[in-house]
């Protein structure tokens, strides 16, 4: 066997499951889906006594070997799932590579790596393990469900349930949960139940049911600020203060997220000014990349959260350098007030005054700040 993309797996690939699989890619939704399909191919129920889920952080490779060598009791084959497989030491990874060669035909071993910073030794050992799986089993590459692929998945899931979800509303739904596929699909299930017995899902239905993340709420707030819609911005701010948390805590978190959003907008404004491809972050020139904010890393955000590209571009195109500088000046003063370094009334009042300055006053920044990227 060798290497295949998950999307390229066919019915024939499931007729005779391999003895070992390595799933590459950080997409929990597809990982669970693969395991479910594998169980079906093995004719095994979830929770069967012939299934074992092991964690490499607390399971020696010798124990993994003993597990796959155990004769199944109820099913024709035993299923062993090893999570965090890449957290082993280089020596343990080498032992795991040898084990891959010895998995008996009555067993099936699935290796699930986790995000990790690997040393050079660990990388070499992991590469050797990958080669062993390619030779004796199958490496399956999982492509993360983001952007357009997540939109298509949401539309397809709704269609499978007998509902119609427009692509633009599917995209809106996943922006409310920061583009996280797992959360988007969970929220879609709630929407499907909410609209019953209707067959069409509207934008209003999504707004009524989906629990928007704090970042998504700040997106709405900054959208209103950039549009100079003070009433809408104030309404959104007050909604955020209804979260149940202490006002001071909400104010500090909200201010930090607004500041983060403005740093992203500044970075995208730099990209626009220098004619760089916002939708292709990997093609941004090194010279321009050095001019971008590093907290957050603008190019990394544009790459990992592609759904933000259009929104950030629209916001950046509406704000001049002078307006951005004025905004940072206002944010700095609000931060000082929240920390007790400037006279103030209370946290909510500080944030409301900030919204007024950002949307209505248009107070210019100090002269030494009025410079472009």
Q: At 304, which CATH number?
A: 1.20.272.10
Q: Kindly provide the residue ranges of all beta strands, DSSP E only, lying in the chain, ordered along the sequence.
A: 3-5, 20-24, 51-55, 78-83, 107-112, 138-141, 164-165, 200-201
- Rounded Cα gap, residues 223 and 215, in angstroms: 12
Tokens of 125: 């050992």
Please give the backbone phi and psi of residue 297, each rounded to the nearest 5 degrees, phi first. Answer: -75, 105
Q: Could you tell me if 355 and 244 lie in one domain?
A: yes
The pLDDT score that the predictor gives to residue 50 is: 97
pTM: 0.71
| Total tally of structural domains belonging to the chain | 3
Domain identity same for 248 and 359: yes
Single out the residue in 141, 159, 178 at which a domain terminates: 141
Which residues lie across from 22 on neighbouring strands? Answer: 111, 139
What single DSSP character describes residue 73?
S
CA separation, residue 104 to residues 18, 79, 97, 109, 110 (Å): 10, 11, 14, 10, 13
Residue 13 and residue 98 in contact, taking contact as beta carbons nearer than 8 Å:
no
Listed residues 95, 126, 141: the one ending a domain: 141
Is the domain of 173 the same as that of 309? no
Q: How many residues does the chain have?
A: 373
Question: 101 and 245: one domain?
Answer: no
Kindly report the CATH number assigned to the domain that includes residue 121.
3.40.50.300
Q: Are residues 358 and 229 in the same domain?
A: yes
Residues 91 and 188 in one domain: no
Looking at the fold, whether 136 and 153 belong to one and the same domain comes out as no
Q: Which domain holds residue 49?
A: 3-141
CATH number at residue 168: 1.10.8.60
Q: What is the DSSP letter of 294?
A: B
Do the Cβ atoms of 79 and 37 come closer than 8 Å? no
One domain, residues 45 and 151: no
Q: Are residues 115 and 79 in the same domain?
A: yes
pLDDT tens per residue across all 373 residues of the chain? 589 999 999 999 999 999 999 999 888 999 999 999 999 999 999 889 999 999 999 999 999 999 999 999 999 999 999 999 999 999 999 999 999 999 999 999 999 998 766 667 788 999 999 999 999 999 999 998 988 899 999 999 999 999 999 999 999 999 899 889 999 999 999 999 999 999 999 999 999 999 888 888 888 899 899 888 999 999 999 988 887 778 899 899 899 999 999 999 999 999 999 999 999 999 999 999 999 998 999 999 998 777 788 889 999 999 999 999 999 999 999 999 999 888 777 999 999 999 999 997 544 444 443 444 4
Tokens of 81: 């799932």
Rounded Cα distance, 183 and 177, in Å: 6
Tokens of 123: 């990388």
Of 141, 163, 188, which residue is a domain's last?
Answer: 141
Alpha carbon distance 184, 172 (integer Å): 10
| 73 and 54 within one domain | yes
* pLDDT number for residue 331: 96
DSSP lists the bridge partners of residue 200 as: 164
Asked if 128 and 188 sit in the same domain, the reply is no
Secondary-structure percent of the chain, ordered helix, strand, coil, rounded to 5: 60, 10, 30
Buried b (16+ CB within 10 A) or exposed e, 292-313: bbeeebbbebbeebbbbbebbb
In this structure, the answer to whether residues 205 and 83 fall within a common structural domain is: no
DSSP state of 297: B
Structure tokens at 137: 């089993």
């Amino acid at each position: 066997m060798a290497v295949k993309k998950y999307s390229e797996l066919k019915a024939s690939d499931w007729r005779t499951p391999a003895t070992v699989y390595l799933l590459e890619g950080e997409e929990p939704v597809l990982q669970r889906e693969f395991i479910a399909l594998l169980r079906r191919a093995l004719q095994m129920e979830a929770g069967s006594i012939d299934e074992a889920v092991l964690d490499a952080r607390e399971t020696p490779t010798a124990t993994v070997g003993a597990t796959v060598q155990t004769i199944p009791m109820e099913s024709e084959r035993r299923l062993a799932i090893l999570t965090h497989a890449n957290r082993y030491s280089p020596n343990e990874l080498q032992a795991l590579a040898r084990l891959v060669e010895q998995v008996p035909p009555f067993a099936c071993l699935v290796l699930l790596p986790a995000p990790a910073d690997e040393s050079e030794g660990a990388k070499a050992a992991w590469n050797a393990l990958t080669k062993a799986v390619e030779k004796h089993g199958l490496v399956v590459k999982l492509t993360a469900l983001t952007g357009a692929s997540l939109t298509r998945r949401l539309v397809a899931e709704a269609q499978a349930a007998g509902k119609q979800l427009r692509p633009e509303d599917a995209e809106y739904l996943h922006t409310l949960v920061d583009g996280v596929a797992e959360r988007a699909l969970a929220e879609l299930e709630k929407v499907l139940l909410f609209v019953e017995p209707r067959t069409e899902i509207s934008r209003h239905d999504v707004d009524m049911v989906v629990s928007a993340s704090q970042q998504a709420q700040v997106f709405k707030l900054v959208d209103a600020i950039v549009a100079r819609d003070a009433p809408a911005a104030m309404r959104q701010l007050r909604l955020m203060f209804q979260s149940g948390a202490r006002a001071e805590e909400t104010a500090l978190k909200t201010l930090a997220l607004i500041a983060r959003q403005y740093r992203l907008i500044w970075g995208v404004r730099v990209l626009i000014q220098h004619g760089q491809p916002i939708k292709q972050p990997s093609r941004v020139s090194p010279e321009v990349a050095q001019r971008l904010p590093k907290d957050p890393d603008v190019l990394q955000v544009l790459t990992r959260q592609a759904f933000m590209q259009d929104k950030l571009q629209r916001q950046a195109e509406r704000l001049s350098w002078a307006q951005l500088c004025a905004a940072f000046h206002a944010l700095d003063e609000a931060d000082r007030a929240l920390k007790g370094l400037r006279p103030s009334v209370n946290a909510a009042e500080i944030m409301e005054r900030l919204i007024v300055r950002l949307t209505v006053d248009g107070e210019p920044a100090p002269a030494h700040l009025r410079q472009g990227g």
